[in-house]
Amino acid sequence: MRVRTAGGRSARPARPVGAVTRGTTNPNRLRRMDRWIAAELAPALRAADAPPVAVDLGYGAAPWTAVELRSRLAAVRPDVRVVGIEIEPERVAVAQRYASPPELTFRRGGFEIPLDGAGGAPGPGGALLIRAANVLRQYEEAQVADAWALLRARLAPGGLLVEGTCDEIGRRHVWVALDREGPRTVTFAARLGGLDRPSDLAERLPKALIHRNVPGEPVHAFLRDLDRAWAAAAPYADFGARQRWIAAARAVSADWPVVGGPRRWRLGELTVRWEAVAPALP
């Protein structure tokens, strides 16, 4: 996946980098992720001098996720520009009927993120957001670092890469947030009413973590402790699953570097610093 010139510098590939995904998509599938993104990026969106650019990478067979991303970010910054990028030409052609340049455009591409000339998006400046949901799931764990590096190189200063996985209807998500330097946080998000125990989210871990949910790995220990905190918070269930989740999040934050507080917890989210759950060294 890595693309280099003879001198060792990154080079733009002649054709899109990556493989075609299954393309499965549903309206509102990424609403939990989008809600977190809109809150996390709000200061940067508002502070941008020019219309900020956001990328929906691998939006799938239908462009619902890109259309929704544009709507949700526009609530924070009305002139935001969303570029939907797909490696499959037929999907790009289908999406054109939903385009509304320059605010929402679609083009062919892959991990190289071809922004130059996309709906007026400034290529050299990069994207304030690249969202890659359910894209790396089909790749090998060893390919994740190269994919992340390619994507991070296309971020604008202060930008975020959000890469993760969710179920078909968007009730369970786990995503990693990265900046131009590397991974920062991991967020677990769920519809709490249907959650038996927090470790049920393990099946939605991103590719960088999903094979690490075994004894001896930090992410396994974190989910174990979160399950224990959830069990101990069972009395709060009388007041609803939300109050139980908040109590569990408060308890686990005593031993883990949890980011944020009750305002995010009540939405069914829990964010922890990447270094606490990153894969152990081989």
Per-residue pLDDT at 6: 33
Which CATH number is 1-180's, of 3.40.50.2000, 3.40.50.150, 3.40.190.10, 3.30.420.40? 3.40.50.150
164 vs 186: CA distance, rounded Å: 9
pLDDT digits (tens, 9 = 90+) for 136-180: 988 999 999 999 999 999 999 999 999 999 999 999 999 999 999
| Average pLDDT of the segment spanning 23-35 | 88
Query: Token pair of 79, please?
Result: 């002139």
Residues of the chain above pLDDT 70, percent: 90
pLDDT digits (tens, 9 = 90+) for 139-149: 999 999 999 99
Cβ neighbours of residue 141 closer than 8 Å, sequence gap 6 or more: 207, 208, 210, 211
Domain with CATH 3.40.50.150 in the chain: 1-180
Q: Are 66 and 84 in contact (CB under 8 A)?
A: yes
With cut-offs at 50, 70 and 90, classify the pLDDT of residue 26. Answer: confident
Is it true that the peptide bond before 282 is cis, omega within 30 degrees of 0? no
Instruction: Look at strands 172-178 and 183-190 and give their pairing.
Output: antiparallel
| Average pLDDT of the segment spanning 189-204 | 96
pLDDT digits (tens, 9 = 90+) for 93-115: 999 999 999 999 999 999 999 99
Q: Are 55 and 131 in contact (CB under 8 A)?
A: yes
Burial of 250 (0-12, 13-18, 19+ CB in 10 A): middle
